[in-house]
Structure 1
Amino acid sequence: MQLRNARVVLTGASGGIGMAIAEAVCAAGARVLAVARHQEALAPLLKRYPDALCWVAADLTLPSDKRKVLAAAEEMGGVNLLINAAGVNHFAMLEQLEDSDINAMLAVNINAPICLTKLLLPLLKQADSAMVVNVGSTYGSIGYAGYASYCATKFALRGFSEALRRELADTRVSVLYVAPRATRTSMNSATAQALNDALKANVDDPQTVASAVIHAIAGDRRDLYLGWPERFFVRLNNLLPQLVDRGLRKQLPLIRRFSEKPENETLKP
């Protein structure tokens, strides 16, 4: 779809990937409604694109705030591109998590995008061409120790994207599922980043992810998996999950050791 003059609702706009996407779609000529709880991180972009970018304060776990987003989208003249980029993460073994941590991931990562998409679908269907973009994760296809609850939410988001695409097959609304690999954002704790370093994991910049997302939107893609060999491992996990089990089993002692480190402790591989 064309981004010039597109009317975009973007959640998670103050986060690393979300802010990079906001800048990219504004630069492409779109009008963007940036959804975030706080404005401070967006201030430079709001100043740079005063005619293209506006902000609405919203906590997407609250029904009243989702309705605020709908009202702002209607005031913008409708929407033909919804990008669900809001997300939270928590690196820890399952028994180390509080129920509140798990509930927060479920609320933000899956309940919010499903409910907001449902709310905005009537506006999207009015457009000549429209798209829903759900930003998931490689961990939406490969279950990984230390991220059981996060993986659950991203597996769910991937399933939601697939089902919604089929549900909307006879409309002008398409669905794109995006699966970044590890990305350098503030969502990653110090322990998560230290684990990535110890494993020598590939870590992308948010701008790299945003550029790939923009090209996928312009190319009317249905899914986008970023990074090699991560795309290979996604396919291997589908075909030979026991082989992936054995490979990841070797990393388990290191994952456990890092998950037990206090956040303020110096972390070394």
Structure 2
Amino acid sequence: MRLSEARVVLTGASGGIGLAITGALCASGAHVLAISRHKESLDPLLARYPDQLCWIAADLTCITDRRKVLAAAEATGGVNMLINAAGINHFAMLEQLDDAEVASMLALNISAPICLTRTLLPLLKKAEAAMVVNVGSIYGSIGYPGYASYCASKFALRGFSEALRRELADTRVGVLYVAPRATRTSMNSPAAQALNDALKASVDDPQNVASAVIHAIAGDRRDLYLGWPERFFVRLNSLLPNLVDRGLRKHLPLIRRLSHQQESEKPKP
């Protein structure tokens, strides 16, 4: 798809990867309807690209706000791309999360993109060529201790992307699934960053992820997995999961210690 002809609805536009993709799209000539709860971090881009960028405040877990996004997309003349980049994460052992935290993660990470995609599909199908881009994670292919609920949501998003691609195979709507590795965003708690540091894990800048996503969109890719050796571990996990089990088990004491240290440092009500 030619980015200069893209009319994009982009969720999670105010932070991390979403903000970087917003800037990269605008720089490429695309028109972007940016969806987020907060606007402050988008202000510089809104000032720089007043004719290309528009912001809509929305809580994507709410049906009335999803309908508001649809109305805004219709008012701007339709869309030919939806990028589902909104998401949240918690680094914690499962027993440290309460029901509300699990529910909110699943609601934003998987229910919201499924429901928003369904809402916008009629508009996307009207375009000469269109694309749904789902921003998942390497943890959508590798179950990792300390991220059980997050992995569940990203595994689900990967499965949704695969099924939707096959469901739309006889239409003009393509589906791209993007799997970043660890990325330097505000979603990472100090404990999560300490874990990355201790394991010497590579952490990407959001701008590098955005650049890779833009190239994947322009190349009409079906999936994009970022980082080495992460791509190798995805393949290894699918072929020899027991080997990955043994490797990750060695890190369990560190993961437990950091997650519980994080819990003990939370402000008490």
Residue of structure 2 equivalent to 1:257: 257
Q: State the alpha-carbon separation in 1 of the partners of residues 176 and 55 from structure 2.
A: 24
1:15 positional shift = 1.3
**CA offsets 1:92-136 (integer angstroms, 9 cap, x no match):** 000000111100110000000000000000000000000000000
8 Å contact kept, 1:165–1:174: yes
Tell whether 2:136 aligns with 1:129: no
After TM superposition, list the pairs within 5 Å mapping 1:12-27 onto structure 2.
12-27=12-27
Tell whether 2:245 aligns with 1:245: yes
AA paired with 1:44?
Answer: P
Structure 1: which 5+ residue stretches go unaligned?
A: none
Q: State the alpha-carbon separation in 1 of the partners of residues 126 and 155 from structure 2.
A: 29
The percentage of aligned residue pairs carrying the same residue is 80
RMSD, aligned CA = 0.9
Residue of structure 1 equivalent to 2:50: 50
Q: What secondary structure is seen at the aligned counterpart in 1 of 2:64? A: helix
Q: State the alpha-carbon separation in 2 of the partners of residues 262 and 232 from structure 1.
A: 30
Q: What secondary structure is seen at the aligned counterpart in 2 of 1:181? A: coil
AA paired with 1:72?
Answer: A
4+ residue runs over 2 A deviation: 262-265
Residue of structure 1 equivalent to 2:102: 102
Residue of structure 1 equivalent to 2:31: 31
AA paired with 2:168?
Answer: L
Q: What secondary structure is seen at the aligned counterpart in 2 of 1:64? A: helix
AA paired with 2:65?
Answer: D
1:264 positional shift = 8.2
Q: State the alpha-carbon separation in 2 of the partners of residues 156 and 262 from structure 1.
A: 27
Superposition TM-score, scaled by structure 2 size = 0.97
Q: State the alpha-carbon separation in 1 of the partners of residues 121 and 100 from structure 2.
A: 30
Superposition TM-score, scaled by structure 1 size = 0.97
8 Å contact kept, 1:190–1:263: no
Residue of structure 2 equivalent to 1:197: 197
Residue of structure 2 equivalent to 1:77: 77
Q: State the alpha-carbon separation in 2 of the partners of residues 264 and 184 from structure 1.
A: 24
Residue of structure 2 equivalent to 1:139: 139
Residue of structure 1 equivalent to 2:152: 152
AA paired with 1:183?
Answer: T
8 Å contact kept, 1:195–1:258: yes
**CA offsets 1:127-169 (integer angstroms, 9 cap, x no match):** 0000000000000000000000000000000000000000000
